[in-house]
Chain A
Amino acid sequence: MLDTLGLLILYGCVAACLVEALLRIWRVRDPGERLALRGLSLVAPLLLPGVFYVLAPARSADAFGSTRALFAGDHWNQLAVGGVGVASLATVALAVAGALLYLRDAVPFLGDTVGGLADHDAIETHPALGPLRQLLDQLTPLVLAPPMALVLLDRAWPVLLCSGVDRPTLVISTGTLDRLDHDQLRAALTHELAHAARRDPLTSWLLMVVRTLAWFSPATQVVARQIVQELEYRADVAVAGVGDSLALGRTIAALADAPDTQSDLAAPRTPGALWRRMMARAERAAIGDRCEGVLTQPVPMRSGLGPLRVGLAGLGLALLLFFVV
């Protein structure tokens, strides 16, 4: 059991590092290609052990680990600390780290799902609803999004989200409307429509399923977070594609500065303990980088090598992991 967990954790780490290196060496900027490569590093470590077991059962023999493997986790168990193998200790430590990373995101996710943001305090009549609906309908064809339901919440703090797996819904609060001018609102809605066009809420759920299955793997948890960032990047690129980059940059800055924002366009504020303040500082730096990227980077062109690169990366990853036992 511990050996299997250790192998899956190791596969996750190798896959994440390999894909990160390829993204940098190939200078991949196309959001679709980046997402596909990240997705590969998320799913391959979970699927490949089963494939290898079926296609090459001899890999599990001791002889393979000693003679042909590039890395055998069992070798590290020959070094012991307090009578316990180093590989087993590392597996337990990494599994704890993976579980903490998982809980850090799963608990708020469950809270939002159980508590619900949309339905119970939605405003049925509000003067802003009509123009908002009109703007949303006007922007929908620009990003080829499906028709979206609209939920307006009477809350002083900003809420702006695309939710709904089968029926995309824009959830927005009066606090958001108070803080954004027309251009900013247009950019923000385009961003959320881009999420709906690509069914990103469904992707978020699937990501959470994979994260739950691999709760023990820190690499899986980190890669899943990177995929969420890639989804945001793809939606940002869609806004840039309709010429609203400047407004989007201002929107991100405005929402990030507001207290208690609930939106994918701003990181949550987490004051309190030292590590929380450190995390908040890192998140603010990430928001700054994102604004800078939106404002300064041109809309990325597709290289035309996307499927080839993803295929080659998959083959290379499978080849490498075959020799890791």
Chain B
Amino acid sequence: MTAAPAHPTVEASATRPTAIAWLRTVLGLAAVLVVAAGALRTIDAVPTLAMGVARGVRRVDSLAAIERYTTQRMPVPMYFPDTLGWPPSDLLVFGGSSASMWFRQRHSRETWLIVAMGVGQDRVAPEVLPSVTSLQTEPTSVRSVPGTVDRLRDADGVTWYQLVWRSPHATWLVRYRGTLDDAMLIANSLDQRGR
């Protein structure tokens, strides 16, 4: 048998890429990356959807866990209306910098008070708070620090009062469903030293 020519081959048969081949290469990669990113994002959202919290929010079971994630002591109000139940019904952390405590009314399942902080931030991440519509904002003073007081309406049409103020290393927030006076008392009584 006569041997066929050595390697007619693969090396000799390279083609010059056309503009369409270049375009197909780039577009193909872009399409695969977009689909892969979308799939990863969707899969990532499943646990938080199942738990009923925003994406990236971690539900923890103790104040100590909040403090571990945020490396900041979470203040607890020293003025705590009798109508509210202890311990908090929900403790949420987002991104290692924002955290919130949710308190229910003692004899109902409804949330009445939220205390939150944003460490090293000029705001508390909205992911750890329920969505609301702002009705009115006014300047005020909390613990001798300039802040704001907001009147809010939640998805059920209930009115809340929200106080926000800042310290050099954190932003603090109290959102209360009762009277503005009680909200002010709660905010002014927030203290880390008592814990």
- Residues of A at the B interface (CB closer than 8 Å) are 14, 17-18, 21-22, 25-26, 30-32, 61-63, 65-67, 69-72, 74-76, 78-79, 86, 138-139, 141-144, 182-183, 186, 237-238, 241-244, 299-305, 308-309, 312-313, 316, 319-320, 323-324
Question: Is there contact, CB below 8 Å, between A22 and B14?
Answer: no
18 contacts across the A-B interface (CB closer than 8 A):
A14-B40, A22-B32, A26-B24, A32-B10, A66-B55, A69-B44, A75-B47, A78-B58, A86-B47, A139-B3, A144-B7, A237-B10, A242-B5, A242-B7, A303-B14, A303-B15, A305-B25, A316-B33
Q: Which residues of B contact A69 (CB under 8 A)?
A: 44
Question: Is there contact, CB below 8 Å, between A242 and B3?
Answer: yes
Partner of B25, one of A31, A182, A238, A308: A308
Question: Is there contact, CB below 8 Å, between B14 and A302?
Answer: yes
Q: Which residues of A contact B43 (CB under 8 A)?
A: 71
> Which partner residue on chain A sits nearest B38 by CB separation?
A70
> Which partner residue on chain A sits nearest B26 by CB separation?
A312
Question: Is there contact, CB below 8 Å, between B41 and A241?
Answer: no
Other A-B contacts than A65-B95, A139-B3, A319-B33, 14 sampled, CB-CB below 8 A, are: A26-B24, A63-B96, A66-B57, A75-B47, A75-B48, A182-B1, A238-B9, A301-B15, A302-B10, A304-B14, A305-B17, A305-B25, A312-B26, A323-B40
Question: Is there contact, CB below 8 Å, between A302 and B29?
Answer: no
In terms of DSSP, what is the predominant structure of the interface of chain A? Answer: helix
> Which partner residue on chain A sits nearest B17 by CB separation?
A304
> Which partner residue on chain B sits nearest A77 by CB separation?
B47
Query: How many interface residues does B have (CB within 8 Å)?
Result: 49
- Residues of B at the A interface (CB closer than 8 Å) are 1, 3-11, 13-17, 21-22, 24-26, 28-29, 31-33, 35-37, 40-41, 43-44, 46-48, 50-51, 55-59, 69, 93-97, 127
- Interface centre among B13, B41, B59, by most chain A C-beta atoms within 10 angstroms, is B13
Question: Is there contact, CB below 8 Å, between B7 and A238?
Answer: yes
Question: Is there contact, CB below 8 Å, between A21 and B7?
Answer: no
Partner of B16, one of A22, A304, A320: A304
